[in-house]
């Protein structure tokens, strides 16, 4: 069976009135309800005017969306998601630079081993970088940056 988008069903069920609803006002009301920015609805969307007050409620277990609805029989529902961060993440200062000597800590249940290595790329605390061991064959591993000069790998 072919699925039909929910928005198509909701719009088809709404009565066509001469005056469309004000999407900007509905979006502002949803943002006031949520207390945070929400993604703007598609400006091409046309909803019938709602003769009663538009109702707002959370939608989903984790309150990821707000549903704005016209509570009249045959009314519409509009789902507005939380806005995504449009600004870039703050720059992090690398704790380790490429070429830095590092201590590689390998650990698992009941054991821990440390060996010396070299960072093959820079990384901030918490990021994963490639490192080369200085002993043996000079194996390349991926390890998480724990602090300046120290990386770690947790084994099962």
pLDDT in tens, 87-141: 555 556 789 999 999 999 988 888 889 999 999 999 998 889 999 999 878 889 9
Quickly list DSSP for 72-112.
Answer: STT--EEEEEBPPP-SPPPP---SB-TT-EEEEEEEETTEE
- Whether the CB-CB separation of 66 and 58 falls below 8 Å is answered with yes
Write down the pTM of the prediction: 0.43
End residue of a domain, out of 25, 51, 81: 81
- pLDDT attached to residue 14: 44
The contacts of residue 141 (CB under 8 Å, 6+ apart) are 104, 117, 130, 131, 132, 133, 153
Residue 132 CA to residue 148 CA, distance in Å, equals 16
Instruction: State whether 63 and 17 are in the same domain.
Output: yes
- 96, part of any domain: no
- 21, part of any domain: yes
Q: Can you give the residue range of the structural domain that contains 13?
A: 6-81
Instruction: State whether 70 and 113 are in the same domain.
Output: no
Residue 21, pLDDT above cutoff 80? no
Give the CATH number of the domain where residue 108 resides: 2.30.30.760
Residue 8, pLDDT above cutoff 50? no
- 138, part of any domain: yes
- 95, part of any domain: no
- 37, part of any domain: yes
- pLDDT attached to residue 90: 54
Please give the tally of structural domains in the chain: 2
- N- to C-terminal Cα distance for the chain? 45
- pLDDT attached to residue 9: 40
pLDDT in tens, 32-91: 888 888 888 888 888 888 989 999 998 877 778 899 999 988 899 999 988 766 555 555
Residue 110 CA to residue 84 CA, distance in Å, equals 42
Residue 151 CA to residue 130 CA, distance in Å, equals 10
């Amino acid at each position: 069976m072919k699925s039909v988008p929910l928005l198509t069903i909701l719009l088809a069920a709404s009565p066509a009135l001469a005056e469309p609803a004000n999407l900007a006002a509905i979006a502002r009301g949803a943002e006031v309800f949520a207390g945070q920015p929400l993604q703007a609805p598609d400006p091409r969307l046309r909803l019938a005017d709602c003769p009663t007050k538009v109702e707002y409620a959370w939608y989903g277990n984790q309150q990821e969306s707000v549903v704005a609805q016209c509570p009249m029989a045959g009314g519409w529902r509009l789902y507005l998601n939380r806005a995504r961060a449009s600004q870039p993440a703050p720059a992090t200062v690398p704790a380790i630079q490429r070429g830095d000597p590092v201590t590689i800590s390998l650990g698992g249940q009941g054991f821990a081993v440390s060996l010396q290595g070299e960072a093959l790329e820079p990384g901030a605390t918490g990021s994963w970088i490639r490192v080369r061991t200085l002993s043996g064959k000079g194996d390349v591993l991926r390890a998480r940056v724990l602090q300046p000069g120290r990386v770690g790998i947790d084994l099962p």
